[in-house]
Structure 1
Amino acid sequence: MVNGSTNARRVLVLEDEPEIADVVQSYLRRDGLQPVTYGTIRSALAAIAKEKFGLMILDVGLPDGSGFEVLRESVASGRRIPAIVLTARGEESDRVVGLELGADDYVIKPFSPRELMARVHALLRRIDERSSSGIVARQLRIGGIEIDPSSHEVRVEGRPAQLTATEFRILSILAGSPGEVFTRATMLDRLHDTGNIFERTLDRHINNLRKKIERDNHNPSYVVTVYGVGYKLRRP
Structure 2
Amino acid sequence: MRILLVEDDPSLGEGLRTVLRRAAYAVDWLQDGASALAAIRGGGLDLVVLDLGLPRKDGLDVIREARRAGATVPILVLSARERAADRMLGLDLGADDYVGKPFDNGELLARVRALLRRSSGQASPTLAFAGLALDPASLTVTWQGRVVDLPRREVALLRLLMEHPGRIVTRETAQQRLYGWDEDVASNAVDVHVHHLRKRLHPALIRTVRGVGYALDDPANDAA
Whole-Å Cα distance in 2 between the matches of residues 73 and 104 of structure 1? 15
Residue 60 (structure 1) aligned to one of 52, 58, 76 = 52
The alpha-carbon deviation at position 84 of structure 1 amounts to 0.5
Residue 103 (structure 1) aligned to one of 95, 98, 106 = 95
The answer as to 2:107 corresponding to 1:115 is yes
For the pair shown, the structure with the greater C-alpha radius of gyration is 2
Whole-Å Cα distance in 1 between the matches of residues 94 and 111 of structure 2? 16
Cross-structure match for 2:28: 36
The alpha-carbon deviation at position 10 of structure 1 amounts to 1.0
Cross-structure match for 1:86: 78
Going from structure 1 to structure 2, the CA distance change for 1:130 and 1:113 (only over 3 Å counts) comes to closer
CA-based RMSD of the aligned residues comes to 1.6
Q: Which amino acid counterpart does residue 24 of structure 1 have in structure 2?
A: L
The answer as to 2:3 corresponding to 1:11 is yes
Gaps of 5+ in 1: 1-8, 133-236
Q: Percentage identity across aligned positions?
A: 44
Cross-structure match for 1:214: none
Report the TM-score, using the length of structure 2 for normalisation: 0.52
SS across alignment from 2:78: strand
Q: Which amino acid counterpart does residue 63 of structure 1 have in structure 2?
A: P
Whole-Å Cα distance in 2 between the matches of residues 23 and 131 of structure 1? 30
The alpha-carbon deviation at position 130 of structure 1 amounts to 5.0
Going from structure 1 to structure 2, the CA distance change for 1:118 and 1:68 (only over 3 Å counts) comes to same
SS across alignment from 2:103: coil
Cross-structure match for 1:129: 121
Structure with more contact order per residue of length (Cα contacts < 8 Å, sep ≥ 6): 2
Going from structure 1 to structure 2, the CA distance change for 1:131 and 1:90 (only over 3 Å counts) comes to closer
Aligned residue pairs, count? 124
The alpha-carbon deviation at position 131 of structure 1 amounts to 6.3
- Report 1:175-194 matches (<5 A): none
Q: CA contact under 8 A between 2:117 and 2:123: conserved in structure 1? A: no
Q: Which amino acid counterpart does residue 98 of structure 2 have in structure 1?
A: Y
The answer as to 2:36 corresponding to 1:50 is no
The alpha-carbon deviation at position 25 of structure 1 amounts to 0.7
Whole-Å Cα distance in 2 between the matches of residues 101 and 49 of structure 1? 16
Going from structure 1 to structure 2, the CA distance change for 1:131 and 1:116 (only over 3 Å counts) comes to closer
Cross-structure match for 1:72: 64
SS across alignment from 2:114: helix
| Runs of 4+ off more than 3 Å | none
Whole-Å Cα distance in 2 between the matches of residues 115 and 130 of structure 1? 19
Q: Which amino acid counterpart does residue 87 of structure 1 have in structure 2?
A: S
